[in-house]
Chains A and B, each alone.
Chain A
Amino acid sequence: MANIFQTMKNVFTYKPEKGQAFELLEGSTEGVERENTPEAANLKPGSDTSDKTEGTSAEQTKDIPAEKNGKKVREKKTPLTVEEWNKQKNDEEASPDQTEEGLVSSDLSANLQKIKKEFGIPYNTDVMTRKFKIARKVNAFITYVDGMVDSTFVSDFVLRQLMEPRNFEEFFKEGNTENISDYINENVISVHEVGKMKDLNTIYFQILCGDTALFIDGAEMCLIISTRGYEKRSVEKPVTENVVMGSQEGFTENLRTNLTLVRKIIKNKNLITEMIKVGKTNQAYIGIMYMNGIVNQEVIKEVKRRLNSIDAAFVAGDGMVGQFIEDSPFMIFPQTLTTERPDRVASFLMEGKVAIISEGAPFAEVVPITFYHLLQTSEDSMVRWQYGSFLRIIRVFGIMVSAFLPAMYVALTLFHQEMIPTELLASIARSKEEVPFPTIVEIILLEISFELIREGGIRIPGVIGQTLGIIGALILGQAAVAAGLVSPILIIIVAVTGLGSFAIPNYPFGLSLRVVRFFFTFMAAILGFYGISLGLFLMACVACNIKSFGVPFFAPVAPKTKSAPDLVMRQPIWKQEERPDFLNPANRRKQSSNSRGWEHKKNGGKKQ
């Protein structure tokens, strides 16, 4: 109740406009072709960070508090008193990261106690500790999460090697002053990735990620051995974005697999993957992929700023990440593009967009996007431009049908009967004779039934789902007509609307149209075509107000920017010479004007 009053109060209370939102299109550098900016200096071409998870994450963990501290400084405008300053200093000193409490101890039993305490052993049965002697001489133990590691790998390439005395003959020779951790790292463990760490919090996180931590008596360092081997789904066909022509690979729930799938398509040293950790409790990694030298650095900065600012306990999957970072959460239309196709992500990256790939869901989010991206599929580029354009026109028709057909029917039958040809009008009138409900109730009943069948069809397990959905709809429709609950023409209307909505390639966009359809139907019921026009105008203005990472939703049509050759009608692929202007990419040219080089006889079609 209090919330309702608060909302009412907010409606009638004046609030000054917020500061300038992030703008990409109207920026001062609009239209200026740029080289790699100094901001990208830390990402020099070739310095691919994708395989340096540890280093990147360490940097990021430093970045996050820095951002937060910056925020704190901004918030506190008055100077601190001496007492406050002392308190703050004491708090900082008491922080476990800065004291020996937070570091690996040279005493093995102390380390073991800390591990047991932090992971709740023995109550927590997932975390395993295994004590042993290195080369039958030095006490040590390993810690790992059961199920997250490849146990055969741990046994064969970690324990066996460490326990074998012959591997340490050099080390125990007289006069050897080498540190045991370094010796093991360099000579004993034959694993591709081994790191040395001191900070216990980082070590805990690595253990949770599936690595094995090796603690050695007397050593103030811990060795983190990459032994990740949890169960994961293999690469399969995409479920929501099937195509006839084109790649048949889809993302999986594993972040590393997803990044590799994209990297497999773009074999370029300028493809950068940065890692950011989000979710305070579940600590999920998010990969930000972009093409250095193509992407606008402002977009990268904005993406990182938004991701770093997420302050939530649990973030899993792109759907959740998208909701945290989108510009206008109260708008009905999606402002990030969700795809489960690596080839699509690759093509977006080559256009100068940014992909955000998370752990836990077989999807990637692409930003910034416009309305026109929601109409496109990867198949459009795979087929000849005539077919691609035709398919898109069909999809636009599907969108129109999905959003407006029930509303048009309501408006026609309630307000504008003169538009219906006489024979059809008589037929509609006859079919409605038996029906006891008004048209609007009839259509809403049937629409809700259809949505129920659709939702139920997804939840029913296995292949029965779809079959039952279709049969259910047929039987239900037939029975409803026979019982005189709905008119037969309405079944056709709802069925065609459903077909139209299935033609929409983007699932979140399809969902938004399913909601909007009810709004238009309601408007049609109260004011006919005039009502639909009002709804459409309002919806268009609202959509024109949306921005996706600084790019207006209807760019490049409204506002008009330099024409892009790939909107609804698709130009031939060899004519798509430039990247979209509204992205302000660092490099606008995608291909030369002479991309069909073989046509030029002078040089025999050789690349110049």
Chain B
Amino acid sequence: MIKEGKIGVQEAIALIAITISVKVYFTSPSYVAKVVGTSSWYMTLISAATAIVGFAVLCKLLKRFPEKDLVEAFEQSLGRIFGFVFSLVLVLFLLISTAVMIREFAEVLKVYALPLTPPSFVIGILLTVTVLVCILGLESIARAARLFAYYILAGFLIVIVLAYNNYDYHNLFPIFGYGLDKTVIYGISRSSFYGEVITLGIIATSMQGLSHIKKAGYTALIISGLTTAIALGMSMMAFNYATGQEITSRMYVLSRIIKIGGFLQRLDPFFLFTWCIGTMVGISFLLYCTVSTYCKTFRIRDLRPTILPWAIILFTVSMIPDDLTTIAGYVQILRQYGWTIFFGLPLITLTLAVIRKKKGTSQRCQ
């Protein structure tokens, strides 16, 4: 078994909430404005609610296989071969999600902050740091996430508050956007925006019991749901839905349009810290989860030697898309169909476990 250390509820909440929420700084809000219009801010709450249901399924699965992580649950429920296949699918999906997130970050950074720096350099140096951090272990990443959590939240709220003179609540109307049905359907299908919550299943053995996992998962989903809804709502109020569709990163531009007097303006580079550190937490955690799942699938006892090769693979995969437009397309595909992997796999596993009457036993009871 891999020694991953122990993390507490608050560290887990910080990890998951940051990994999910930081995506509001990327291209997703603009695409959401394109598909559901002015109703995007509550569409994301529907997504969060769907993710809560998905997470409840994961919790049921973990309850059925106590003291086991998701990979072990796959194996015990589906048998070695299918369990292996499911785990491998999860590894590949996490790899692709991480690669897409890295490239999206590099491209957005290029647009707004570092126009002359090649994305390969931005990604290369980010992955170098990520590799070092992953070698330090899950405990270090989780503690760093906890350490930065309040700072990131404060940075986010400061942007929202300081941009107050740009808000026009009329921009939120018509309240149903392109139609309530469309909003609900998109809301449900885009639940994969919150899909990272299932990583709690991957690191389940590092948590102190199912009650902690539940507390961390539900709280993280609520926090990230609220922050995302606030970000989408406020940026929609600042830019109407037509303009909002054209902006690459609505949150970044929101920080850019802050102007309070002659001195307090153009604060966007200052908020770059919030965004960058949040993304680094997210990418480090996702890379760690990818490597951890891979090592558990192949029963590798020490994950450290595999981190560097995985980072190289990640770099290669993230460099495949040509440009920001291509990567934005991939992001939308992932968001649209990602739920099948994030929440579908645990659901299938749980259903088959119930049908096949497979159940794990707790070591503690014995």
Whether the Cβ atoms of A530 and B143 lie closer than 8 Å is no
Q: Once bound together, how far apart are the Cα atoms of A542 and B141, in whole Å?
A: 9
Q: B12 to nearest A CB, angstroms?
A: 11
A558 contacts chain B at the CB level, 8 A cutoff: yes
Please choose the segment from B38-46, B219-227, B272-280 that sits at the chain A interface, where 4 or more of its residues have CB less than 8 A away: B272-280
Whether the Cβ atoms of A533 and B117 lie closer than 8 Å is no
Q: A418-B266, A536-B277 are in contact. Are A545 and B140 (CB under 8 A)?
A: yes
Whether the Cβ atoms of A558 and B272 lie closer than 8 Å is no
The proximity string for A residues 538-549 relative to B, scoring 1 for CB distances below 8 Å and 0 otherwise, is: 101110110000
Q: Once bound together, how far apart are the Cα atoms of A69 and B120, in whole Å?
A: 56
Whether the Cβ atoms of B143 and A552 lie closer than 8 Å is yes
Q: Once bound together, how far apart are the Cα atoms of A534 and B139, in whole Å?
A: 19
Q: Once bound together, how far apart are the Cα atoms of A421 and B267, in whole Å?
A: 10
Q: A416-B269, A537-B129, A541-B133 are in contact. Are A560 and B280 (CB under 8 A)?
A: no
List A residues 518-546 near B (Cβ within 8 Å).
Answer: 527-534, 536-538, 540-542, 544-545
Please choose the segment from B3-11, B93-101, B347-355 that sits at the chain A interface, where 4 or more of its residues have CB less than 8 A away: B3-11
Which A residues are in CB contact (< 8 Å) with B280? 533-534, 537
Whether the Cβ atoms of B147 and A537 lie closer than 8 Å is no
Q: Once bound together, how far apart are the Cα atoms of A558 and B146, in whole Å?
A: 6
Which A residues are in CB contact (< 8 Å) with B284? 541
Which B residues are in CB contact (< 8 Å) with A246? none
Whether the Cβ atoms of B144 and A558 lie closer than 8 Å is yes
Q: A249 to nearest B CB, angstroms?
A: 36
Q: B100 to nearest A CB, angstroms?
A: 19
**Looking across the interface, which residue of chain A has its beta carbon closest to that of B141?**
A541
Main secondary structure of the interface of A (DSSP, over half): helix
Whether the Cβ atoms of B132 and A538 lie closer than 8 Å is yes
Whether the Cβ atoms of B129 and A418 lie closer than 8 Å is no
A554 contacts chain B at the CB level, 8 A cutoff: yes
Q: Once bound together, how far apart are the Cα atoms of A161 and B109, in whole Å?
A: 88
Which A residues are in CB contact (< 8 Å) with B109? 530
The listed residue with most B CB atoms (<10 A of its CB), out of A26, A532, A560, is: A560
Which A residues are in CB contact (< 8 Å) with B157? none
Q: B35 to nearest A CB, angstroms?
A: 30
Q: B275 to nearest A CB, angstroms?
A: 8
Give which listed residue, B129, B140, B146, B305, contacts A557 with CB less than 8 A.
B146
The listed residue with most A CB atoms (<10 A of its CB), out of B141, B144, B268, B272, is: B144
Q: Once bound together, how far apart are the Cα atoms of A26 and B125, in whole Å?
A: 34
The listed residue with most B CB atoms (<10 A of its CB), out of A421, A527, A528, A557, is: A527
Which A residues are in CB contact (< 8 Å) with B7? 559
Q: Once bound together, how far apart are the Cα atoms of A552 and B8, in whole Å?
A: 13
A17 contacts chain B at the CB level, 8 A cutoff: yes
Give which listed residue, B136, B142, B269, B305, contacts A418 with CB less than 8 A.
B269
The proximity string for B residues 114-150 relative to A, scoring 1 for CB distances below 8 Å and 0 otherwise, is: 1001000010011001001100110111111111100
Q: A542-B136, A544-B144 are in contact. Are A17 and B267 (CB under 8 A)?
A: no
A123 contacts chain B at the CB level, 8 A cutoff: no
A419 contacts chain B at the CB level, 8 A cutoff: yes
Q: Once bound together, how far apart are the Cα atoms of A528 and B269, in whole Å?
A: 9
**Looking across the interface, which residue of chain B has its beta carbon closest to that of A536?**
B277
Q: Once bound together, how far apart are the Cα atoms of A557 and B139, in whole Å?
A: 13
Give which listed residue, A421, A528, A529, A534, contacts B126 with CB less than 8 A.
A534
Q: B357 to nearest A CB, angstroms?
A: 35
Give which listed residue, B132, B142, B267, B276, contacts A533 with CB less than 8 A.
B276
A330 contacts chain B at the CB level, 8 A cutoff: no
Whether the Cβ atoms of A538 and B113 lie closer than 8 Å is no
Which A residues are in CB contact (< 8 Å) with B136? 541-542, 544-545
B270 contacts chain A at the CB level, 8 A cutoff: yes
Q: Once bound together, how far apart are the Cα atoms of A552 and B122, in whole Å?
A: 31
**Looking across the interface, which residue of chain B has its beta carbon closest to that of A560?**
B10
B182 contacts chain A at the CB level, 8 A cutoff: no
The proximity string for A residues 305-344 relative to B, scoring 1 for CB distances below 8 Å and 0 otherwise, is: 0000000000000000000000000000000000000000
B281 contacts chain A at the CB level, 8 A cutoff: yes
Which B residues are in CB contact (< 8 Å) with A415? 113-114, 269
Which A residues are in CB contact (< 8 Å) with B181? none
Whether the Cβ atoms of A416 and B132 lie closer than 8 Å is no
Q: Once bound together, how far apart are the Cα atoms of A542 and B270, in whole Å?
A: 24
List A residues 409-436 near B (Cβ within 8 Å).
Answer: 411-412, 415-416, 418-419, 421
**Looking across the interface, which residue of chain B has its beta carbon closest to that of A15?**
B304
Whether the Cβ atoms of A530 and B122 lie closer than 8 Å is yes
B302 contacts chain A at the CB level, 8 A cutoff: yes
Whether the Cβ atoms of B144 and A530 lie closer than 8 Å is no
Q: Once bound together, how far apart are the Cα atoms of A326 and B148, in whole Å?
A: 26
Tally of A interface residues using CB under 8 Å: 33
Q: B132 to nearest A CB, angstroms?
A: 6
A14 contacts chain B at the CB level, 8 A cutoff: yes
Q: A556 to nearest B CB, angstroms?
A: 11
Which A residues are in CB contact (< 8 Å) with B273? 529, 532-533, 536
List A residues 384-428 near B (Cβ within 8 Å).
Answer: 411-412, 415-416, 418-419, 421
Q: A597 to nearest B CB, angstroms?
A: 36
A38 contacts chain B at the CB level, 8 A cutoff: no
Q: A581 to nearest B CB, angstroms?
A: 12
**Looking across the interface, which residue of chain B has its beta carbon closest to that of A539?**
B144
Whether the Cβ atoms of A529 and B143 lie closer than 8 Å is no
A175 contacts chain B at the CB level, 8 A cutoff: no
The listed residue with most B CB atoms (<10 A of its CB), out of A412, A532, A534, A544, is: A544
List B residues 276-312 near A (Cβ within 8 Å).
Answer: 276-277, 280-281, 284, 302, 304-305
Whether the Cβ atoms of B144 and A540 lie closer than 8 Å is yes
Whether the Cβ atoms of B262 and A421 lie closer than 8 Å is yes
A16 contacts chain B at the CB level, 8 A cutoff: yes
Q: Once bound together, how far apart are the Cα atoms of A26 and B143, in whole Å?
A: 14
Whether the Cβ atoms of A416 and B147 lie closer than 8 Å is no
Whether the Cβ atoms of B10 and A537 lie closer than 8 Å is no
Which A residues are in CB contact (< 8 Å) with B266? 418-419
Whether the Cβ atoms of B125 and A527 lie closer than 8 Å is yes
**Looking across the interface, which residue of chain B has its beta carbon closest to that of A535?**
B129
Q: Once bound together, how far apart are the Cα atoms of A527 and B302, in whole Å?
A: 33
Q: Once bound together, how far apart are the Cα atoms of A421 and B304, in whole Å?
A: 47
Which B residues are in CB contact (< 8 Å) with A542? 136, 140
Q: B124 to nearest A CB, angstroms?
A: 11
Which A residues are in CB contact (< 8 Å) with B148? 537, 540
Whether the Cβ atoms of A544 and B276 lie closer than 8 Å is no
Whether the Cβ atoms of B114 and A558 lie closer than 8 Å is no
Whether the Cβ atoms of B8 and A560 lie closer than 8 Å is yes
Which B residues are in CB contact (< 8 Å) with A421? 262-263, 265
Which A residues are in CB contact (< 8 Å) with B144? 537, 540-541, 544, 558
Q: A542-B136, A554-B147 are in contact. Are A530 and B114 (CB under 8 A)?
A: yes
Whether the Cβ atoms of B268 and A26 lie closer than 8 Å is no
Q: Once bound together, how far apart are the Cα atoms of A530 and B109, in whole Å?
A: 9
Which A residues are in CB contact (< 8 Å) with B10? 559-560
Whether the Cβ atoms of B129 and A560 lie closer than 8 Å is no
Q: Once bound together, how far apart are the Cα atoms of A558 and B147, in whole Å?
A: 6
The proximity string for B residues 243-267 relative to A, scoring 1 for CB distances below 8 Å and 0 otherwise, is: 0000000000000000000110111
Q: B264 to nearest A CB, angstroms?
A: 9
List A residues 539-596 near B (Cβ within 8 Å).
Answer: 540-542, 544-545, 552, 554, 557-560
Q: Once bound together, how far apart are the Cα atoms of A55 and B281, in whole Å?
A: 55
Q: Once bound together, how far apart are the Cα atoms of A554 and B140, in whole Å?
A: 10
Q: A534-B129, A534-B280 are in contact. Are A529 and B302 (CB under 8 A)?
A: no
Q: Once bound together, how far apart are the Cα atoms of A544 and B142, in whole Å?
A: 9
Additional 9 contacts, C-beta under 8 A, given A419-B267, A534-B276, A554-B143: A14-B304, A412-B269, A529-B270, A529-B273, A530-B122, A538-B129, A544-B147, A558-B142, A559-B8
Could you list some 22 contacts between A and B, CB below 8 A?
Answer: A14-B304, A416-B269, A419-B268, A421-B263, A527-B125, A529-B269, A530-B122, A531-B125, A533-B272, A533-B276, A534-B129, A534-B276, A537-B144, A538-B129, A541-B132, A541-B136, A541-B141, A544-B140, A544-B143, A558-B143, A558-B147, A559-B7
Please list the residues of chain B having a beta carbon within 8 angstroms of any beta carbon in chain A.
3, 6-8, 10-11, 109, 113-114, 117, 122, 125-126, 129, 132-133, 136-137, 139-148, 262-263, 265-270, 272-273, 276-277, 280-281, 284, 302, 304-305
